[in-house]
Amino acid sequence: GSLVGVFALQGDVAEHVRVLTALGARVRPVRSAADLAGLDGLVIPGGESSVMDKLSRLLGVAPAIRQAIGEGLPVYGTCAGMIMLAESIANPIAGQQSFGGLDITVQRNAFGGQVESFETALEVPEVSGDPVHAVFIRAPAVLRAGPDVQVLATVPASRSGNPERPAGDVPVAVRQGRLLATSFHPEVTGDWSFHRYFLEHVIR
């Protein structure tokens, strides 16, 4: 199987490790630049992007991840991980940076706070023949997607209780070459279709 790193300075690392291992990947937690050596792919989990940003800069791993993305490392980001892959954050917490690479602008917490979390069944024909079970927890929305970005799924923003929500249908799953990102968390649902897609179609 592939050797897949899971960014492990913050977030729901264990959940991703469990899914990837069950799908036959070898998994390595990534906390330093050295941990990136020889990886076939990297997953950036859900959690809190501002903390991921602070820790990864403090511990010096941010430039190495940025470089690996630039060199074509396949990366899958879920929720906070999507924010870390976004070229631009519409509402950063003071000075918050991302790794970038994915030509999107995201709005953090676009669907509201913890109490406005919701679950839905998403049609994602590129990824699965069956609807994908998607859980949104303080999830980001994609406000802008560049011309090279493939939108894999959208949800009506009216699904959100947040008065600051964007209008219309918003992308919540996107791919640009070797970068894959979802606003939601397949690692907590038991629906492994996105992890399988990442291993079989993005890494390979």
Q: How many residues bind ligand GLN (CB under 6 A)?
A: 11
Rounded Cα distance between 51 and 58, Å, is 10
Q: Residue-wise over 138-147: b if at least 16 C-beta within 10 A, else e? A: bbbbbbebee
Span of 18-26, 44-52, 119-127, 171-179 interacting with ligand GLN by CB under 6 A: 44-52
- State yes or no: residue 48 binds ligand GLN (CB under 6 A): yes
43 by DSSP, 3-state: which?
A: strand
- Alpha-carbon distances, residue 56 vs 33, 122, 138, 149 (angstroms): 10, 32, 21, 26
Residue type for position 146: G
- State yes or no: residue 176 binds ligand GLN (CB under 6 A): no
For ligand GLN, the binding residue among 5, 41, 47, 74 (CB under 6 A) is 47
Q: x-or-dash pattern for ligand GLN, window 137-156, by CB under 6 A?
A: xx------------------
Beta carbon nearer to ligand GLN, 2 or 16: 16
Would you name the residues annotated as active-site residues? Answer: 79, 185, 187
HEC letters along 126-156: CCCCCCEEEEECCCCEEEEECCCCEEEEEEE
For ligand GLN, the binding residue among 8, 20, 65, 79 (CB under 6 A) is 79
| Total length of the chain | 204
- State yes or no: residue 41 binds ligand GLN (CB under 6 A): no
Beta carbon nearer to ligand GLN, 20 or 80: 80
Residue type for position 86: A
Span of 27-35, 76-84, 125-133, 190-198 interacting with ligand GLN by CB under 6 A: 76-84
- State yes or no: residue 109 binds ligand GLN (CB under 6 A): yes
- State yes or no: residue 44 binds ligand GLN (CB under 6 A): no
Q: x-or-dash pattern for ligand GLN, window 89-108, by CB under 6 A?
A: -------------------x
Q: Is there a contact between 122 and 132 (Cβ–Cβ < 8 Å)?
A: yes
Q: Residue 52's closest CA among 100, 7, 93?
A: 7
Beta carbon nearer to ligand GLN, 2 or 110: 110
Binding positions for ligand GLN, rule: CB under 6 A: 46-49, 79-80, 83, 108-109, 137-138
